[in-house]
Structure 1
Amino acid sequence: MGTRLAELVERFGGQLAGDPDLEVSGIAPLADAGASHLSFLSNSKLRAQALASRAAALIHSPADEEALAAGFAGARIVTKNPYAYFARVAQYFFSLTEVRPAPGIHPNAVVAAGAQVDPSAHVGPFVTIEEGARIGAGVVIGAGCFIGRDAVIGEDTRLFPNVTFHAQCVIGKRGVLHSGAVIGTDGFGFANEGGVYIKIPQTGRVVMGDDVDIGANTTVDRGALADTVIGNGVKLDNLIQIAHNVEIGDHTAMAGCVGVAGSTKIGKHCMFGGAAMINGHIEIVDNVYVTAATMVPNSIREAGQYTGFFPVAPNKEWERAAVLVRNLEKMRDKMRELEKQVKALTETK
């Protein structure tokens, strides 16, 4: 069954140009869209591809209105942020066909007598839920998950199969934890005495807000004494390490393989490219963008984009650059000596 364009505009806004009764059955990329699809243009560099698209309708920005109005035969929805509009429409179409697991506890699950599981929640096979845990309304817990004692999982949060959610940890509403995620592992805390490491008990929690999305095989360590805190709307990709007592502000996003060392405080609306490495015990303000593979050794106190690596180059060129970098200290000392000599010569004239 299709959805009328007028219904989509009524639900999500935007300005419709074309037949309001035209029905679309789904959303597809520009090159693949057919006569029953809605597509989108979020990058004007692809304007020629949009003009050639066979989609029934396009979502695009006002910047592309003139060109598409003249050259695209289908209907159009004009909006300030076509990519965000696409995301909402895609969610809507997905919801029409999504099959949610039925409420109830699978016979193979092990649920402690003192745990509280809302009747509308789904608990899959081979799940373990320990004493004192609280599972909210509409929660979906996939097969093989572990929920520790006194843990709290908020309404409509989904745990995909084989998530480990340790004791006393908390996640808010509408969260997503992908397979292999581990929340609340011990932080890497040890005291050194004469070359021997003494473990420091990690007694804090992991506390996560609403609308948090944690990728596959990502780990978030519990705090040593205070809590590790993940704000509302934070998005963490796959294979990320968040160490103990880290604080991440609302709506910050990190791509795969980022590592954040302990006790670092990160602001709101930050973005971290893949494999960025963030030192411990530093602070990063709001609205900072750290590019991929960048090492951040010190605090960042001003919003903006930061990069800390050499772009790829032919190996011989890279080797020459590495030699120069290693000799910078000697070159600096020679420059200082030359400056002194020039100054002395100038002063004798």
Structure 2
Amino acid sequence: VAPPQEAGEGYLTFIFSRKWLKALPSVKASVVVLPPLEGLSSPSHATYILVDDVGDAMIKLLSIFFEPPYSRDVGVSPQAFVSPGAVLEEGAVVYPFAFVDDGAVIGRMAVVMPYVYVGKRARVGDGAVLFPSVVVYPEVEIGDGTIVHAGAVLGADGFGYMEREGRRVKIPQVGGVKVGRDVEIGANTCVDRATMGFTQIGDGTKLDNLVQVGHNVRIGQNCAFAGQVGISGSVEVGDGVLMGGQAGVADHARVGNRAILTAKAGVMGGVPDGAVVTGTPAMPHANWKKVQVFINKLPQLVERIRNLEKALEELKGGEDVHSKDS
């Protein structure tokens, strides 16, 4: 399997749009999956498979041809440390050098890979997968089918301090984290535990690598956040929200259902349902585009203002002379 421009003989590839139609004869893949396109003719070297939804076909075919990078046949390695007080449900897999602490529960068919730490009274749901070096602090709940990639940290202390007599005093972070079902958390992403209560991530939400979720944040279902998104403490995010890379949300703000934050958007207050916002501070995307037009013209506008000011000063000077003469 390879992209169209890289696929050679013996390869399977996928075409999503008609922009590739003219280039199709040069695609050297043996099998091409593509939508029905007007004027399409199959060359002798390739087989074309026409489908209505190429994306859906790609997901199914890749799932058939490629095995996941872990095995559920490992069982529980004798080189792992599993506390006598931990619970491993049927089919749970624990790789060598993992550490499962007292009171932790590893669900049915869940996979805990090397160097993972699962803290006291944490729960890993059925079929969940924890990639190497994931840290699951105590009192963290991970839903069924959730995937947590390497180096992610769930349940570290939230960034909570009070100033007392000129010094920062730590507020004990005694809450937990609840991660829903079918969530995917990228490598080196951090989800902080709540000060009290829970930091929550809804079912089906996907977090890219290097995302920071602060304490007591509540994220709805089926959201998607790109890399380096930062969510400050006590933010509420609705369902179906999309955030581009390096977008940020200030503490206690609310982002409405199906809102879109484009890359590097900086939200200081609320974002209504369905809104698309851009820039820092974030504004409606249509307004931002108008602002950009004026920013590009700023040098000319500044020069024009200077010329107008100069002309105004000259006009005032002339009026003063005329006044003295009269």
User: Hey, what does 1:248 align to over in structure 2?
Assistant: 219
Aligned residue for 1:92, secondary structure, equals helix
1:128-277 alignment to 2 at 5 Å? 128-277=99-248
Aligned counterparts of 1:132 and 1:37: Cα–Cα separation in 2: 49
Residue 44 of structure 1: CA displacement?
A: 3.4
User: Hey, what does 2:49 align to over in structure 1?
Assistant: 76
Residue 243 of structure 1: CA displacement?
A: 0.2
- 1:111 partner letter: V
Q: 2:63 aligns with which of 87, 91, 103?
A: 91
Aligned counterparts of 2:9 and 2:204: Cα–Cα separation in 1: 35
User: Hey, what does 1:293 align to over in structure 2?
Assistant: 264
Residue 136 of structure 1: CA displacement?
A: 0.9
More displaced, 191-200 or 146-155? 191-200
Residue 118 of structure 1: CA displacement?
A: 2.2
Q: Does the 8 Å contact 2:51/2:57 carry over to 1?
A: no
- 2:109 partner letter: G
What do residues 286-330 of structure 1 show as CA deviations (whole Å, max 9, x unaligned)?
A: 11121111111111113032211589xxxxx98x67x97xxxxxx
Determine which structure has more spread, i.e. the larger CA radius of gyration: 2
Segments of 5+ residues of structure 2 without an aligned counterpart are 281-287, 290-294, 303-326
What do residues 219-267 of structure 1 show as CA deviations (whole Å, max 9, x unaligned)?
A: 0001111211111111111111100111111111111111000111111
User: Hey, what does 2:311 align to over in structure 1?
Assistant: none
TM-score, normalisation: structure 2: 0.81
Q: Does the 8 Å contact 1:258/1:275 carry over to 2?
A: yes
User: Hey, what does 1:66 align to over in structure 2?
Assistant: 38
1:21-36 alignment to 2 at 5 Å? 27-36=1-10
Aligned counterparts of 1:49 and 1:232: Cα–Cα separation in 2: 40
Aligned counterparts of 1:186 and 1:257: Cα–Cα separation in 2: 19
User: Hey, what does 1:335 align to over in structure 2?
Assistant: none
Aligned counterparts of 1:135 and 1:57: Cα–Cα separation in 2: 42
In structure 2, the CA distance between the partners of 1:167 and 1:77, relative to structure 1 (3 Å rule), is same
What fraction of aligned residue pairs are identical, expressed as a percent? 34
In structure 2, the CA distance between the partners of 1:39 and 1:244, relative to structure 1 (3 Å rule), is same
Q: Does the 8 Å contact 1:31/1:49 carry over to 2?
A: no
Q: 1:280 aligns with which of 237, 251, 262?
A: 251
- 1:100 partner letter: S
- Alignment RMSD (CA, Å): 2.6
TM-score, normalisation: structure 1: 0.76
Aligned counterparts of 1:49 and 1:270: Cα–Cα separation in 2: 36
How many residues are matched? 289
Q: Does the 8 Å contact 1:216/1:238 carry over to 2?
A: yes
User: Hey, what does 1:57 align to over in structure 2?
Assistant: 31
